[in-house]
Chains A and B, each alone.
Chain A
């Protein structure tokens, strides 16, 4: 990417119009920190969407709506009763990056090591996408949105405007594990889980588990989820369920594929234990 022109549209329709007209020569820019990873020399026109009022977090019936250009630092500092998004944001990159990098930028183009898609898959988030003044807003679920590289969705000028994260309900807990060599490094493996426990029996009633970084693209782990349903939450079950994970674990940065698999399974079990502990604490 080589920025040849820099546009600051004043409204969402104006930004959409510019991006549609530019086609492949246009590029949405928010924090801009990820451009560092796209170091070819393709000339592009940047369309800065950080001045369109798309920043901020608000509670909205049963969930939280996070504006696409909200910096990770703001998500990290936000506190609300049934909210857990701050946990993963604290562990992404460094203070200076979190002040600039946005939630939208973290998911509009998914890099294999990204933590945010994994958290949003576990939380059953949904995205809101502006598709032009004439078209209805698109609202894909995280499962739909992350089924393929999301960047493809935005080639025609569409703009991610916000992410909706459901509030955690009673007896639901969120847990995540991000394994890194140094605090600011990219994840070697990143895992997130949401468990819902039956208030009477204590058994696992629902589970969403997702992983990334040690695989080519972030994804849910349905085999792990199935192995948990109806069972009593405990360490042995978590390890057993984690061993069912059927993902193309791959080696990188000195890790063999076998090591990645082992690291992922231990991390999945830890994330599940974390989620179960929080679920027990959340009695209402």
Chain B
């Protein structure tokens, strides 16, 4: 270590349901901390809070991990794409994306899934304007969005129908 006397900063937060403590630096972004520790589903896209590839959920809200300093996450509840679904057991939206052929290069998809997760958890009805509000910070440079939108709409329509049935 260059400076033996300086205390190594650490940050403690809940990561996908588990309390974890990570060594970090004051200028490290949450995205870099996550990827450095093996959580590579969260992508580095633009690094300037525009593209949404790094979207994670903090205390129930979608945020850009590329803009958040890791130290800001102290005591927060952080969820990443690793907690959303697995290869064997994809989430409902992930399965719809697969079935709908909505994934091309796939780089934007983890962020899309996290924004959609925040939407589904925070709201009980899903009018198009509201869905656009939640998804307006995720860019896709391959698909033109139609198939991603259709896949999400199918999930949301089912949830709305299920809620009506009670």
Contact = CB atoms under 8 A, between A and B. Distances in A.
A and B associate in one complex: yes
B49 interface: yes
Interface string B46-58: 0011101001001
B69 A33 contact: no
A73 to B, nearest CB: 7
Contacts of A29: 69, 72
A95 B71 contact: no
B55 A96 contact: yes
B78 to A, nearest CB: 13
Given A6-B26, A95-B115, A184 B63 contact: no
Contacts of A94: 49-50, 52, 136-137
B27 interface: yes
Interface residues of A, number: 24
A93 B52 CA distance: 12
Contacts of A3: 26-27, 69, 71
A99 B26 contact: no
Given A33-B49, A184-B136, A73 B69 contact: no
Contact of A95 (B48, B58, B72, B134): B134
A100 B136 contact: no
A264 B83 CA distance: 47
B27 A100 contact: no
A97 B62 CA distance: 9
A276 interface: no
Contacts of A90: 133
A5 B6 CA distance: 10
Given A6-B69, A95-B135, A95-B136, A73 B27 contact: no
Contact of A36 (B49, B72, B135): B49
A93 B63 CA distance: 12
Given A32-B69, A96-B52, A96-B63, A4 B133 contact: no
B31 to A, nearest CB: 12
Interface residues of B, number: 25
Given A95-B133, A95-B137, A4 B26 contact: yes
Interface in A36-50: 36, 46, 48, 50
Contacts of A33: 49, 64, 67
A32 B115 contact: no
A282 interface: no
Interface string A79-112: 0000000000010011111011000000000000
Contact of B26 (A46, A96, A183, A184): A46
A96 B69 contact: no
Q: Which of B9, B72, B115, B135 gathers most chain A CB within 10 Å?
A: B72
B74 interface: yes
B52 to A, nearest CB: 7
Contacts of B71: 3, 6, 46, 48
Contacts of B135: 95
Nearest to B74: A8
Interface string B26-61: 110000000000000000000011101001001001
B140 interface: no
B68 interface: yes
A94 B72 CA distance: 20
B62 A95 contact: yes
A6 B26 CA distance: 6
A32 B48 contact: no
Contact of B9 (A6, A32, A36, A73): A6
30 contacts: A3-B71, A4-B26, A5-B26, A29-B69, A33-B49, A33-B67, A36-B48, A36-B49, A46-B71, A48-B71, A48-B72, A50-B72, A90-B133, A93-B49, A93-B137, A94-B49, A94-B136, A95-B115, A95-B133, A95-B135, A96-B49, A96-B52, A96-B62, A96-B64, A96-B115, A99-B62, A100-B67, A183-B136, A184-B50, A184-B137
Interface of B: 9, 26-27, 48-50, 52, 55, 58, 61-64, 67-69, 71-72, 74, 115, 133-137
A-B interface, 10 closest residue pairs, ranked by CB to CB distance from nearest:
A94-B137, A6-B71, A3-B26, A99-B61, A3-B27, A96-B137, A6-B26, A95-B137, A96-B64, A33-B67
